[in-house]
Chain A
Amino acid sequence: MDSGGRPRHVLEQIVEQYQVVMHGVSLSIGSTDPLNFEYLGKLKNLAEWTRAAWISDHVCWTGVNGLNGHDLLPLPFNEETLQHVVSRIKTVQDFLERPLVLENPSTYVTFTDSTMFEWEFVTRMAEESDCGLLLDVNNVYVSCFNNDLDPEDFIRSLPHERIVRFHLVGRTDCGTHIVDTHDNFVVDKVWELYQLAHKLTGGVSTLLEWDAQIPDFDVVYDEVLKARDLILQ
């Protein structure tokens, strides 16, 4: 977004040949700081330049009081948060003049201020703001393990018609908790959940994320083909 160098040059060649979508981590849709319109302006310019079909980010916040922790921080799931997030999604969609798609992040805490489950929050958020959903199946698995919830309940309870993409990714099991590290193979349980999600949605595009300790291309490609094989079963 800010690059005038090689990254931009490479992206230019990609968008000449492929339809792209944009995925970010800095929207901070759940922050109680004002929306950053300088950021949104650059995002919009990039989306116009790449002719992105949609822009996605996460149901989270990244900082307050002008600071940014560069993490996908968890929200309390209650009415106040819901109204705040829905209002901001509407503003962002109007500004970007493109659909906004939001992804469930991996979470490691839940707050006593929450009055609803994450899937209830996400469902109402999507319906009241008319945004799309990106279902990270591994994040469902990680959050549910960490928060003592049932991942199948999570996936079954979502508004499946609003899901436009799946993410699959590897994780690190720390025993007491699981961390979303993007550096490993997808685990069997996530593949099972993916099959369930695929069945419930009727099938949408899938992205395998492997952006740390990246192995040879053939290894990554084989992992992608597993997804194809599973949905063809």
Chain B
Amino acid sequence: MPEQRSMRRLEGWVQEVITNPDGIAVGVESPAAKQQIDIDVSSIEQVVEPSSRMDSTERLAVYGNAYFSRLVKCLGEEFPATRYAIGEENFKSFAFAYVNDSPSSSYSLGFLGEQFAQYLIDTRPADVSKPGWPDFLIDLATLERTYAEFFDGLGPEHLDTLKLQDLQTVPPDLVNEVRFVPVPSLRLLEASFSVHEYVTAVRRDQSPEIPLPAETLLVITRREYVVRRGPVSRTEFQLLRAILDGNSLGAAIKIAAEAMPDMADEELASNLSKWFQHWASAGWFIRVELPDS
């Protein structure tokens, strides 16, 4: 029997070999693996015993194949609409490249897809005009990742949320000064395509066509453990974004109004009343804080 190697070196070698995207033989010959155990693939039996039915390379390949197929499958389950949009084989290629580029460092597979949308942004073909096909995929992946995070994240289920009558108790002279405190699961998402409808159609086993570009402004939230999404107008979106950025209501209204200079004051005021009612009934905020609270 050859001299025993340290456990640390053996584990480092196994990991380098089975996660090599080009297979076990290339993995054994890689500098990273040779840094742990310096052998050629022809000498692999010095480390891994053959069995009566398989040689050492074939045996290690069971782990190598499982590594990529498991993680690609997990990503496919987290991004079903993205997978549907580009097709099974293309998705596998994307996911394989992503896993190779961003190997998991977490104990939980729940974080595996955390950077997938960013990976699509980083590898977006530069020669495709915006908004184009790659942006549709990026928007899709961003929305599906948000759904996954909201499904498992903290939600409003055990919280008392803001009621319309709570707003009515704010002294009129302080209304502009109040700040809205959002529930933990409230996020705004700006997309170039109506990806929310596409995702819903895929989840219902329908066969949606790729939509044409269209500005899509979404509010993502969760209620009764169900992730929900809804489109909002550009003005409401601007107002919500300013509020979530921590601005007081007065400052947020100013920001939203400046972003929509064509909207008359009366129309904005009318919309504000309607929006507040909707935010309260949808449970998007926990409370409002007065300046001295």
Contacts and interface: CB of A to CB of B under 8 A. Distances in A.
Interface string B218-261: 00001001000000000000000000000000000000000000
A1 B108 contact: yes
Given A80-B4, A108-B59, A109-B59, A177 B151 contact: no
Given A36-B107, A109-B48, A112-B47, A176 B71 contact: no
Interface of B: 1-2, 4-8, 10-12, 14-15, 18-19, 45-49, 51-54, 56, 58-60, 62-63, 66-67, 70-71, 74, 103-110, 150-155, 157, 184, 222, 225
B54 A111 contact: no
23 contacts: A1-B108, A2-B110, A5-B225, A6-B151, A6-B225, A9-B225, A26-B107, A26-B108, A31-B11, A32-B11, A67-B19, A68-B104, A68-B107, A71-B63, A75-B7, A80-B7, A108-B62, A109-B62, A109-B63, A111-B48, A112-B49, A113-B4, A147-B49
B6 A177 contact: no
A109 B106 CA distance: 25
A146 B54 CA distance: 9
A148 interface: yes
Contacts of B6: 80
A70 B71 contact: yes
Contact of A146 (B45, B51, B106, B107): B51
A61 interface: yes
Interface string A9-28: 10000000000000000101
Question: Dominant SS at the A interface?
Answer: loop
Interface string A61-97: 1111111111101011010110010000000000000
Contacts of B109: 70
Contact of B7 (A76, A108, A148): A76
Interface string A116-160: 000000000000000000000000000000111000000000000
A64 B70 CA distance: 18
A110 interface: yes
Nearest to A24: B107
Contacts of B53: 175-177
B126 to A, nearest CB: 31
B15 A69 contact: yes
B4 A78 contact: yes
Given A70-B70, A73-B14, A177-B62, A84 B225 contact: no
Given A3-B152, A4-B154, A67-B103, A112 B51 contact: no
Contact of A70 (B46, B104, B222): B104
A68 B10 CA distance: 16
Contacts of A75: 7
B165 to A, nearest CB: 28
B157 A9 contact: yes
Nearest to A64: B11
Interface size class of A (residues with CB under 8 A): 35 or more
A113 B5 contact: yes
A5 B51 contact: no
A61 B152 contact: no
A70 B106 CA distance: 9
Contacts of A36: 107
Contacts of A39: 107
Contact of A65 (B7, B15, B49): B15
Contacts of B5: 113
A148 B51 contact: yes
Interface string A162-184: 00000000000001110100000
A4 B153 contact: yes
B158 to A, nearest CB: 10
A164 B45 CA distance: 37
Contacts of B10: 76, 111, 113
Given A2-B152, A4-B152, A4-B154, A64 B12 contact: yes
A52 B8 CA distance: 33
A71 to B, nearest CB: 6
Contact of A5 (B8, B47, B222): B222
Nearest to B151: A5
Nearest to B107: A26
Contacts of B51: 146-148, 177
A32 B6 CA distance: 10
Count chain A CB atoms within 10 A of each CB in B12, B47, B59 and give the residue with the most: B59
A147 B51 CA distance: 6
B203 to A, nearest CB: 16
Most central of A4, A32, A63 by chain B CB within 10 Å:
A4
A68 B99 CA distance: 11
A4 B222 CA distance: 11
Given A32-B7, A69-B104, A111-B47, 13 more contacts: A5-B154, A5-B225, A31-B11, A32-B11, A39-B107, A69-B15, A71-B63, A73-B11, A84-B7, A109-B59, A113-B5, A147-B49, A177-B51
